[in-house]
Amino acid sequence: MLHRPLGRSGLQTLPLAMGGNAFGWTADEKASHAVLDAFVAAGFSLIDTADVYSKWVPGNVGGESETIIGTWLKSRGQRDRVLVATKVAGEMAPGRKGLSANHIKSAVEDSLRRLQTDYIDLYQAHYSDESVPYEETLGAFDDLITAGKVRAIGVSNHDASQLKLALIASTRHALPRYETLQPLYNLHDRAEFEQTYAPLCRAEGIGVVSYYALASGFLTGKYRTEADIKASKRQRSNSKYMTERGFRILSALDTVAARTNAKQAQIAIAWLLAQPDVTAPIASATSPTQVEELAAAVRLSLDAECLALLNVASAYDGEAARG
C-alpha cells in the first residue's frame, strides 16, 4: 500500500481514513479504542472526526468523538503514528458555530483539549459560512498554523464555487489554502463529484478524502427490499437508492463478489481506491473485525473487466458509460 499526499501540505496517508462519527454513538469508549487499536495495527494512520460528533445522539452535547479519540491517544501514546483530522463550523451551542475568526480560535482550543494533543494535523471547515469573508477565515487558520496548533487545512460541505473562491482568496491575500476536500463520493453517488469537483481538485492538486463510501450501507448489499429498509436505522438514507440504477449496481457488485471472493462492501471501497482523484475514502467501524474487512478491501485489486462492469452499471445521466 502506497502513501498518498493530502494535497500539497506535505502530509501523506495510507489510502483509508477511519471515520469517527460512530465514536460516542454506536460505539462506546471501549469499543472505539479497540477499533482504533486495530486500525493502527493494520498500518493505517488517518482518523477523521468533527467537534459536533455526536451531538445528534440524545443526551450528547457534541465533542464525544473527539473526547474518545483523546483518551485513546493519551492511553496509547501513539500520537506520532497517526494523523488527526477534525472539523469546525458546526453548531456546538447557540451562537457557537460558523467560520468567524473568533469562533475558530475558540473552537480549536476546545478540540485540542478534548483530543489531548498539542496540534491537529488537518483542521477542516465543516460547513461554509457566507456571513464571513474568506480572508477572515483563512487568516484565522493562518494564525493557528503559525502557532503550531494546526498543520494543514481542508473543507467539507462546500460547493465547488465556494472552494474556488476560497482558493482565489488564499492566493490574493497570501494565506494558507485548503489542501483537502471531503465530498460525498461512492459507486452510486458519482455525478456531482466527477462532473463538478474532480476537475477542480485535479487542477489544483487538492487531496480528496471522500465520505459515505458505502452509500449509507446500501453498497454492502444488505438492503434489497422494503422490509430490509424498514428494519434499518438508516431507513430514510437507503430508500433513495432503491431504484432501477441502484439494483443494477447491486447486481454488478454481486457478480464481482463471485469473481473475487470478496464482500460487496470491500468491492465498493476497492472501486473508490481505483479512482485517480481519491486520496483516502472514509469508512467507519464499530469492531476490530470490521477493521480487518476494511484492510482487506484496501488490499483488493480489481481487474479491468471488473472495473468496467461496475462503471457501466453505475453510469449516470450525462456520462457516457465507460467500458
Task: Say how many C-beta atoms besides its own lie within 10 A of residue 303's C-beta.
Answer: 11
Residues 310 and 291: their CA atoms lie apart, in Å, by 24
Instruction: Identify whether the C-beta of residue 313 lies closer than 8 Å to the C-beta of residue 49.
Output: no
**Cell numbers 467560520 label which residue?**
99
Asked about 53 being catalytic, the answer comes back as: yes
Residues 16 and 274: their CA atoms lie apart, in Å, by 12
Quick one: cell of 215? 452509500
Residues 16 and 297: their CA atoms lie apart, in Å, by 10
3-class DSSP assignment, residue 164? helix
| Annotated catalytic residue, options 53, 134, 197, 212 | 53
| Pick from 191, 114, 201: nearest CA to 154 | 201
Catalytic machinery residues:
53
